[in-house]
Chain A
Amino acid sequence: MEDDFIPVRLSVNGVPHRLFVEPRRTLLDMLREDLELTGTNAGCEHGSCGACTVLLDGQSVRACLLLAVQANGHEVTTVEGLAQHGRMHPLQEAFWEKQALQCGFCTPGMLMTAYELLQQNPDPTEEEIRSALSGNLCRCTGYQHIVEAIRLAAQRLREGAEAATSSGTTA
């Protein structure tokens, strides 16, 4: 088994990569160990805590439950891909303002889940947010500040989109 390294080509946060991995290597281990993208955390490694949530072609997945080889030919987005040119994404800004984190360990997974939610539903209700987050465990915050942060980010993103439309520019 140890001799069967398999080539994987993928794009992570817009950067193309080609590497050779063991068939058993998880996407999580490949991101953290091979690509040194340690923002994505390992909380349970059996798919129940959501700390390792990343996007695969825009859809949230548990990086601990996916094999690296399954990401071959796909685009992966991790928490490191949210900020642009050192500027935090509006979700990150809102999490900061609302103190939607304490130890920060679940936060990257929360952000990626919230990012996907706002792509699909730009104006979610509190109940829709809580439902979307139900697969992401947080042991510190009690979730309320996270819910508030996502609502705030949603509002700002909507206002930003409206402003962009009304001024005739493209986002």
Chain B
Amino acid sequence: MTTTVSERAWIGKDLKRREDPALLMGTVTYINDFKIAGMLHAAVLRSPYAHARIRAIDTSAARALPGVQAVLTGKEAAEVIGPVPAFCAEPVVEHAIAVEKVRYAGEAVVAVAAESRALAEDALDLVEIDWEPLPAVTDALSAMQPGAPLVHENLGTNVVYDHVFTFGDVDGDFARADHVIRRRLRWPRATAAPLEPNGAVCAYDPARDTMEIWSNTNMLNSASWVMSSMLKIPPHKLNFYPMYTGGSFGSKHFLAKVIGIAGALSKVTGRPVKFMEDRLDNLMANDSQGPERLYEAELAVTKDGQFLSLRLRTIDDYGAYFIFAITGNTNMMAQITGPYTIRSVETGIKAVLTNKNQQTVFRGAGSDVGNWVLERLVDAAAEQLGIDRVEIRRRNFIQPDQFPYKIPTGNVYDSGNYPGVLDLALGHFDLDAWRQQQAQARQEGRYLGIGLATAQQRSTYSSTEFWFHNPAPATGLNSTPESVRISVGPTGGVTVTMFSPFWGNSPETVVAQVVAEELGIDPRDVNVTYDSTAHALPSAGPGGSRMTVMLAGAVHGAAARLKEKIFKIAAHMLEASVSDLELVGGQVRVKGVPSSSVSLADIGMRAYWFKLDLPPELESGLEGTFTYDHPYTTKPHDDRKDLGVFYPIMGHAAHLVAVEVDIETGAVRFKKYVAVHDVGTVLNPRSLQGQIRGGIAQGIGLALLEEVRYGPDGQNLTSTFVDYLLPSASDVPAIEVYHHETPSPFTAYGVKGGGEGGRMVAPPAVTSAIEDALRPFGISIDEMPITPEKIVRWVKEAQSRHQRQTN
């Protein structure tokens, strides 16, 4: 926008992250490291049943334990805090501590505050509960049956949402199709599982009716007014402090339950209370499980391989509560037709409640699922029509000259070059050589497979996706701003203040690079800091791959305001006109007369302490603030035939993967992995590569290992890292990452968000590779994770089918 690529001094450079030294030396303060005078520690008793009524709770022995300051049942907590804030239209009510009945194994039942965590846990052992166990319903299909136990009786059903969205002439396009590709697909329940669990320290001041909150929640600004109703304290009397966050991946958006538990205990004790989840708490009750979907998926295709229409029916297991409504399903409508010119689409969504910890969002937020479903159909179409998998994609790509491109749902893709990305990936992969190796290996009885996925990575969410699934006239939020303040001090030092926390990415590095670009200074000289919500400007916080785009826009805007004042003061000092000045290397100088210059320090001192020497219309001080709104979003139409523009900053990626599958052991070994991502202008290549590789590792985890599993009685069978398998250093290969840059026409510098892309594209690529390896057996892969046990079973089944046929 203001600079061309060749002129840029800092944007696009591989700078070392400024966040890292403190993280490397162990000196940052995560929430679990935070202490405040007088602080008590909380622990939570969790339900052993997936579904049960609480008849009575006896906490007298727990209360009598020396050092215990408070014991709260759900009923008692409900006297000081309200329900957990929810974004659903349906009357599904959740409490931080369960009232009357529990709806999943691990739901909080009693909370204790004591002088130490160990004491609080001792007290929990002394609590007696009289339970009335109820039959549990643990899969969506059973939950939909008439007479199934009801998770929420007031709804009268477990199907909490049921609607079919149609965009364009779906029936006509299917009637015109030469082929209909059909697959029944299953996406497994996974969970973000950042290494740092959730936590909060709440300090209630009864004298002022204020509460200070330190927490690793990601949405500080929203948290204030959203959580006010739960904490029963006016929003302006809540002050949230940003903390360094040990990973989120979508799992730390509000953290209402940990804040509610610490907040309620602080209100009743009048002392600061810390509640820090342990791993068991986190894996059983973190409210951040991913989608668990069954799909009936159909793709209408012409005989020459052109995709006409997509028809989806999904049953999605939301678990016991519904705080974000069907967000994961609305999210994928932003890119439901992928990089292809599919002209109509229908998606039917049944959201079902069961006795499991609830689904909210996990990196990809449902668009990860959409990519996998669509790419499964595309691979199936290629196979069924006998068209090469690369070729069929090429025939259907939206072309570079077709942008901005409106897809059937109404969302707009800003820019892209999908053939260019694919060419770059193919150039680094050498497909022909791998196909030769594959043929050779098959003769030796070894099974190599080549996988391909070409898929979207939408970025920079707007908030209409949280409510547009409700019929008009329902409306909701429609802004997602982000702000920064840039101050130049009296000695010229530059400080940027953010109002959203560090959550594992590189916000400080991004901000320093952009401000350095704009002010012509060295990013290492920039100080970056955070402020609490009491002093904050509007900022929605991280989520939906937005922060790099939004922070770049905010810094760009704030720098422009700051420079205006810098130039006015400098013009006054140099007795020159503003239009004759330029800012170079921290000096404002008269163009062409380098000797006639003033430094930022000169200007800063003048601005703060020499009012009588300032232009008379200027006030003291030198700062620029800017609130950057979403660069391009519109409202949905009332008929919901057009959802409006809600996720237009559209990235894209092509992954090419070679694997070898051992059909005896079911082991999958990666031979080569090439990933090309296009997320517009790249701010910091190495940091983006880290995001992509980390996302791919999570995608590989999902494809091969990860699944939250529940027993038939609703017990969580994956409540430790021994059972919920995160990929280890031996599971994830070296990944070749290349950047293709197609700038966005709508954002500052043309950047797009890249935080989720790796995880959104790896699952279809890995599935495709394994299916290709097993092609001699005629196995089609319709589910994940693709565990060794399943591979061995599928091969055995195929072999016995083959034997029966030949006999």
Which residues of A approach B to under 8 Å, CB–CB?
22, 24-25, 32, 37-46, 48-49, 51, 78-80, 82-83, 88, 92, 95-97, 99, 101-108, 111, 126, 129-131, 133-147
Contacts and interface: CB of A to CB of B under 8 A. Distances in A.
B505 interface: yes
A49 B134 CA distance: 35
Contact of B728 (A41, A126, A133): A133
A40 B26 contact: yes
Q: Which secondary structure dominates where chain A touches chain B?
A: loop
Contact of B25 (A88, A134, A135, A145): A88
Contact of A45 (B29, B245, B278, B696): B278
A48 B721 contact: yes
Given A49-B721, A99-B689, A101-B23, 8 more contacts: A44-B279, A45-B278, A99-B20, A103-B246, A104-B23, A104-B246, A105-B247, A146-B729
Contact of A103 (B26, B504, B687): B504
Q: Which secondary structure dominates where chain B touches chain A?
A: loop
A139 B29 contact: no
B207 to A, nearest CB: 30
Given A48-B721, A141-B697, A106 B195 contact: yes
B434 interface: no
Contacts of B504: 102-104, 140
A143 B697 contact: yes
B721 A99 contact: no
Given A97-B16, A104-B20, A130-B730, A44 B720 contact: yes
B32 A42 contact: yes
A93 to B, nearest CB: 9
Contact of B735 (A82, A130, A142): A142
B686 interface: yes
Nearest to B699: A142
B245 A79 contact: no
6 tightest A-B CB contacts, nearest first: A39-B26, A104-B23, A103-B504, A105-B246, A142-B697, A38-B33
Question: Which of A24, A44, A101, A137 is the most central at the interface, judged by chain B CB atoms within 10 Å of its CB?
Answer: A44
A107 B30 CA distance: 13
B726 interface: yes
A88 B21 contact: yes
B194 A139 contact: yes
Contacts of B193: 139
A37 B735 CA distance: 35
A25 B121 CA distance: 13
Contacts of A106: 195
Given A44-B720, A92-B25, A105-B196, A142 B20 contact: no
Given A48-B722, A140-B504, A141-B697, A43 B690 contact: no
Interface string B180-204: 0000000000001111100000000
B726 A39 contact: no
Interface in B661-691: 686-687, 689-691
A49 B29 contact: no
B161 to A, nearest CB: 31
Given A43-B279, A97-B16, A143 B24 contact: no
B272 to A, nearest CB: 16
A36 to B, nearest CB: 8
Contacts of A102: 247, 504-506, 690-691, 694
A103 B251 CA distance: 14
Nearest to B14: A99
A137 B24 contact: no
Given A41-B30, A105-B196, A88 B24 contact: yes
Contacts of A107: 23-24
A46 B721 contact: yes
B390 interface: no
A44 B279 CA distance: 5
Contacts of B23: 101, 103-104, 107
Nearest to A109: B195
Contacts of B734: 126, 144, 147
Contacts of A126: 734
Contacts of A24: 118
Interface string B238-258: 000000111101000000000
Contacts of B19: 104
Contacts of B278: 42, 45
Contact of B721 (A22, A137, A144): A137
Interface in B1-44: 16-17, 19-21, 23-30, 32-33
A80 B22 CA distance: 11
Contact of A22 (B118, B194, B691, B696): B118
B693 interface: yes
A130 B118 CA distance: 36
Contact of A108 (B17, B26, B728): B26
A133 B21 CA distance: 21
A162 B78 CA distance: 67
A25 B244 CA distance: 27
Contacts of A130: 729-730
Contacts of B17: 96, 99
B322 interface: no
Contacts of B687: 99
B528 interface: no
A39 B16 CA distance: 21
Given A88-B21, A140-B247, A46 B726 contact: no
A131 B735 contact: no
Contact of A104 (B28, B32, B249, B726): B28
A96 B16 contact: yes
Contacts of B246: 41, 103-105
B279 A111 contact: no
A95 B693 contact: no
Contact of B24 (A43, A51, A111, A138): A111
Contacts of B695: 142
Nearest to B20: A96
B680 to A, nearest CB: 20
Question: Which of A108, A131, A137 is the most central at the interface, judged by chain B CB atoms within 10 Å of its CB?
Answer: A137
Contact of B32 (A25, A41, A96): A41
A119 to B, nearest CB: 19
Contacts of A99: 16-17, 20, 686-687, 689-690
A143 B697 CA distance: 8
B277 to A, nearest CB: 10
A39 B27 CA distance: 6
Contacts of A133: 728-729
Question: Which of B29, B118, B506 is the most central at the interface, judged by chain A CB atoms within 10 Å of its CB?
Answer: B118
Nearest to B687: A99
Contacts of A25: 118
Contacts of B245: 103
A147 B27 CA distance: 23
B16 A139 contact: no
Contacts of A97: 16
Interface in B546-560: none
Question: Which of B245, B503, B694, B729 is the most central at the interface, judged by chain A CB atoms within 10 Å of its CB?
Answer: B729
B247 A145 contact: no
A80 B26 contact: yes
A160 to B, nearest CB: 19
B696 A142 contact: yes
A41 B30 CA distance: 9
A102 B688 CA distance: 11
Question: Which of A92, A105, A145 is the most central at the interface, judged by chain B CB atoms within 10 Å of its CB?
Answer: A105
Contacts of A111: 24
Contact of A138 (B21, B195, B696, B758): B195
Nearest to A98: B686
A40 to B, nearest CB: 7
B282 to A, nearest CB: 9
A102 B244 CA distance: 11
Interface in B465-511: 503-506
